[in-house]
Amino acid sequence: MRRSGIKIGRVFGIPIFLHLSWFLIFLLIAYSLVYEFGARYPQWTSRQLWSLAVLTSVLFFGSVLFHELSHSVVARHYRIPVASITLFFFGGIASITRDPDRAGQEFLIAAAGPFSSYVLAAGFFLIAMATPDGSMPNVLTTWLADTNALLATFNLLPGFPLDGGRIFRSIIWGITKNYSRSTRIASRIGQAIAYAMMALGVYLAFGPLHSSINGAWFIFLGWFLLTAARQSYVQVAAQSALQGLRAADVMTSDAPTVARDLSLEEYARETARTGRRAHLVVSDGRLVGFMRIEALQAVPREDWPSTSVQAVMISREKLPWTGPDEPVLGVLERMRSANVDQLAVITGDNVVGVVTRDSILRAVQTRTELGHVTGG
């Protein structure tokens, strides 16, 4: 996932985001807890039920955040940057900017999440044991203990990209010493588990149990896992296709230029005519900045005629750039970390080209097709 949603703060320097889908699942969990607690404790008032349900939902997502932070802390221990953590409909995801260097590192990073959830489950269980049966603190901590244990156990399923799937991949990786092969095996097992979950969902929804809600939930979880497993393998295949390529191999050498005194109205017409999303900004033959279509879109349409490119461009001093010999995988990682779609390629004081996501994608497609042709 790209970093998206509402930023709510930082923990250990890692930005925390709430995806828009999070608000829906938060309300669904709170509502279901009101129904569940109300059926078990009819003597509680609506205010008590909603207060407990909302607090339980908050602590549940706090537990999910703790789970993802555990992954992130171990990843950063191995000097692997963590771009962000996003809470969304299906829980949470830590956006780790690159894969581990060794199988042992991946094992520990993946295992940290379920381990932390089991630790939380044990902690909430001890608190529940120390509180009176049927009291609100007891009900709260009992539910959180059970749910964290279930969360950890579910994540240990050997289906990639669940934590268990990553643990499984790290074991295969350690045995075969082949990262791509281990990913392919783990991804296929992940897809098989996803299909099994969807089949279970159909059985629950339409079988003798007639549990449509639980059935729909398993179908959605299976669909999400299936999509994630396929995307994860495609990503690894793309990384394999980019091995050995440098920025100079994928850059566009005929980088388009525009004058700094060009109005945004004129710049918009130029981008519409050529389809170019980025331009070098020059003055008297010298590079002074970099203009992207995103900067144009950030300015109100009515201000385009009176605003120049120079007013909104990225100045040369702040220009995101790379060298021609930098590996493409490193370039792609820096693009992702900086959340940009292109980098200028600079040698000395000269811009010799531009690397874009599109140019990298074309390289992946071409090398993949050639690989199929040659059987590689």
Strand partners, 286: 283
Most confident of 49-63, 233-247, 307-321, 323-337: 49-63
pLDDT band of residue 274 (cuts 50, 70, 90) is confident
Q: How far apart are CA 90 and CA 228, in angstroms?
A: 12
- Sort 207 into a burial class: Cβ within 10 Å, 0-12 / 13-18 / 19+: exposed
Residue 219 tokens read as: 């179908």
- DSSP state for residue 308 in the 8-state scheme: B
pLDDT tens string 190-209: 889 999 989 999 998 888 87
If one compares 99 and 281, the residue with the highest pLDDT of the two is 281
Question: Rounded to the nearest 10 degrees, how much is the dihedral formed by the CA atoms of 93, 122, 154, 5?
Answer: -20
Q: What is the average per-residue pLDDT within 321-337?
A: 81
Question: Rounded to the nearest 10 degrees, how much is the dihedral formed by the CA atoms of 290, 296, 302, 307?
Answer: -10
Q: How far apart are CA 184 and CA 165, in angstroms?
A: 11
3-state secondary structure of 174: helix
Distance between start and end Cα atoms, the chain: 30
Q: Annotate 59-70 with DSSP letters as a single string.
A: HHHHHHHHHHHH
pLDDT band of residue 375 (cuts 50, 70, 90) is very low
pLDDT band of residue 222 (cuts 50, 70, 90) is confident
| 213 contact partners, CB below 8 Å, separation of at least 6 | none
pLDDT tens string 166-186: 999 999 999 999 887 888 888
CA distances from 180 to 10, 184, 214, 256 (A): 34, 6, 35, 37
Residue 48 main-chain phi, psi, to 5 deg: -65, -45
If one compares 239 and 263, the residue with the highest pLDDT of the two is 263
If one compares 300 and 318, the residue with the highest pLDDT of the two is 300
Residue 287 tokens read as: 């590079």
Residue 120 pLDDT exceeds 50 = yes
pLDDT band of residue 371 (cuts 50, 70, 90) is low
Residue 92 contacts residue 65 (beta carbons within 8 Å): yes
pLDDT score, position 292: 83
Domain-wise residue ranges, the chain: 6-156, 179-242, 247-374
If one compares 16 and 242, the residue with the highest pLDDT of the two is 16
pLDDT band of residue 372 (cuts 50, 70, 90) is very low
| 233 contact partners, CB below 8 Å, separation of at least 6 | 160, 183, 184, 187
pLDDT band of residue 20 (cuts 50, 70, 90) is confident
Average pLDDT along the chain: 86
pLDDT score, position 12: 86
Residue 330 tokens read as: 């490193």
Residue 293 tokens read as: 């279509």
pLDDT score, position 90: 67
pLDDT score, position 144: 95
State the architecture of 247-374 in CATH terms. Answer: Roll (3.10)
3-state secondary structure of 345: strand
Q: What is the average per-residue pLDDT within 25-29?
A: 88
